Amino acid sequence: MRARLAGMLMLGMIIICLAYFLRSLFTSTPEISSLGKFYLQNSYLGERSAGSPEVVTSILWDYRGLDTYFETAVLFLAIISAVSVFRNMEHREVGDGFTGITKTGIKLVAFVTFVTSASVAFHGHLTPGGGFQGGSILAAVSLLVIAGFSKGALEGNGITKDRALAIRTLGLAIITAVAFYPLLEGFNFMQNLPVYPVRIRGLLISGSLLLYNVAEFLAVGAGFTIIFLLLSLPEVRRE
């Protein structure tokens, strides 16, 4: 009876999904809202250009930059509070990781993931992606190393909690400096284009978008690394 119910449920879900995806065949294409048209026309070519062909990044760091700025600040506060919660935990080491097969595989995959994270972050103003996405992938590298080797392997190679916190603060400081610099020049807070150059020696850097992406990449990658380091503290067994 339960198996039949599950089958009926699955069939119903498949029908609903099919109807959802096929509905565009029977209805007219939706109109783009005026705000969406503004973003699409202006992000690279228009008069209020952000200098970036990637519309999502130009919305995140230029048109709606203030939102992202405080979002980053909120994430920083969350990580600070996690650090303060865990501040009295003892450092102790349990176990020595997985087998050699796993470690070799993790070495290969971690290298590829590291390169991918950098590419996602540094191309954030050209292709889909950006600082937050690249930073999350970077943190996945540290999570891989913790899972396959150990927490000590990460700390033995120089990525300790304090150093990661320093990198996180550096990233946030770069974001703050880039956001406040236009005020000194007499422009608005977080203004992008007349202040920062669109290209340097013919290379498209989209004004401040590249700077924000790199800083956010450092901040998010180091921030999530701190969280993973703290959460991987082994539990103390009381006898």
Partner 1 sequence: MILASIGLILLIAGVICDVFGAIGMHRFDNFYLRLHAATVGTIGGKFYPLIGVALIAADMRLWPIAGIALLSALLVMITAPVGSHALAFAAAEKNLVPIEKNEFTGDSR
Q: Considering only residues 112-141, where is the footprint of partner 1 by CB under 8 A?
A: 112
How far apart are the C-alpha atoms of 78 and 29, rounded to whole Å? 42
- Interface with partner 1 includes 5 (CB under 8 A)? no
Minimum CB–partner distance for residue 105 and partner 1 (Å): 3
Report the alpha-carbon distance of residue 142 to residue 139 in Å, rounded: 5
Q: How far is Cα 79 from Cα 234, in angstroms, rounded to an integer?
A: 19
Q: How far is the CB of 229 from partner 1 (least distance, A)?
A: 21
Burial label for 44, CB within 10 Å (0-12, 13-18, 19+), is middle
Contacts (CB under 8 A) with partner 1, residues 143-182: 148
From CA 170, how far away is CA 223, in angstroms rounded? 11
Q: Is 142 helix (H, G, I), strand (E, B) or coil?
A: helix
CB of 147 to partner 1, least distance (A): 9
Please, what is the minimum distance in Å from the beta carbon of residue 76 to partner 1? 32
Which residues within the stretch 91-110 sit at the binding site for partner 1 (CB under 8 A)? 98-99, 101-102, 104-106, 108-109
Number of residues in contact with partner 1 under rule CB under 8 A: 11
Residue ranges that bind partner 1, judged by CB under 8 A: 98-99, 101-102, 104-106, 108-109, 112, 148
